[in-house]
Amino acid sequence: MEELNLLEKNEIEVLGARVHNLKNIDVTIPRDQLVVITGLSGSGKSSLAFDTIYAEGQRRYIETFSAYARQFLGNLERPDVDKINGLSPVISIEQKTTSRNPRSTVGTVTEIYDFLRLLYARASTAYSYNTGEKMVSYTEDKIREMILEKYQGEKVNLLAPLVRSRKGHYRELFEHIAKQGFVKVRVDGEIVNVEKGMRLDRYKNHDIEVVVDRLKVDGEDIERLKNSITVSLQQGNGVMMILEHGKDTPQFFSKNLMCPSIHAYLLATDFCLLITLSILLLFSCCNREGYRFRKIFGIIMIRPNITLTVML
């Protein structure tokens, strides 16, 4: 009960520390703050920090393991101290490291960052950095249900996005599309036939979607709709579009994270989206002074209140 009260007070209390040259000292250290222990050489700084607090924290942590696991780790001796209250598992970092990477942090050195990436890649809730709305993802069955509900009786085009706002003539892409058996594409908002030698202005940005199927949503040919959705998602890397006949604005559907309002979508949330220097997230310009980085994709920002974790 006493230790619980100390945890609520955010303090670590060391009573009667006598390790090495410590003379039965009592110390109260605030938690959740940067604390520096200073003193003359030989005054007991390392004895207090490493040989007392760190050693006891490690010993308590290992005691939580099973007897089978402890036999491989060995037993740690209890430091010469009367009592330590409010102590949680601890981490010790060498004062001199062999790494010269200026971007190393406590998280990367101790490898805790790997576990945080795993946690937030699998258990986090992503929000759109443009609208603040919760990002959504759909299964193929859910996409089929939404299409049948929203476009019942309508003629629609099932599209798979291949290029988004990129320059190039894309002659090889059109040849590849034709070899796969597709006969129509949507280029910069206009549906056209795929022709031999087809190419675009290489100096302009283009949006290209392949027309996977054109059908009337009537609920009769469910198998055709199901197969077309599968092909569309395969061609679009998990993203597809529904374009009603006679309209210019498509509806996006994604198996990955997507903003429901502006239809901006991300790759599947994975470790790669949470790596600080991932090439998927950053564009680097190297110079003699170091690196300058510019974000080109959203990354999940961890906030103290997990309910407010957002995409930036």
**pLDDT tier for residue 263 given thresholds of 50, 70 and 90:** low
Q: 140-254 — its CATH code? A: 3.30.190.20
Q: Which CATH number fits domain 99-137+257-312: 2.115.10.20, 1.20.1580.10, 3.40.50.880, 1.10.10.10?
A: 1.20.1580.10
User: Above 80 in pLDDT, residue 42?
Assistant: yes
In the structure encoding, which two tokens stand for residue 245, read together?
A: 């006949």
Regarding pTM above 0.75, the answer is: no
Length of the chain: 312
**pLDDT tier for residue 272 given thresholds of 50, 70 and 90:** low
Q: 2-92 — its CATH code? A: 3.40.50.300
For the chain, the domains span 2-92, 99-137+257-312, 140-254
User: Above 70 in pLDDT, residue 281?
Assistant: no
Q: Which residue is it, tokens 């759909």?
A: 138
User: Above 80 in pLDDT, residue 94?
Assistant: no
Q: Give the Cα separation of 242 and 232 in Å (integer).
A: 10
pLDDT tens for each residue of 291-310: 333 333 344 443 444 444 43
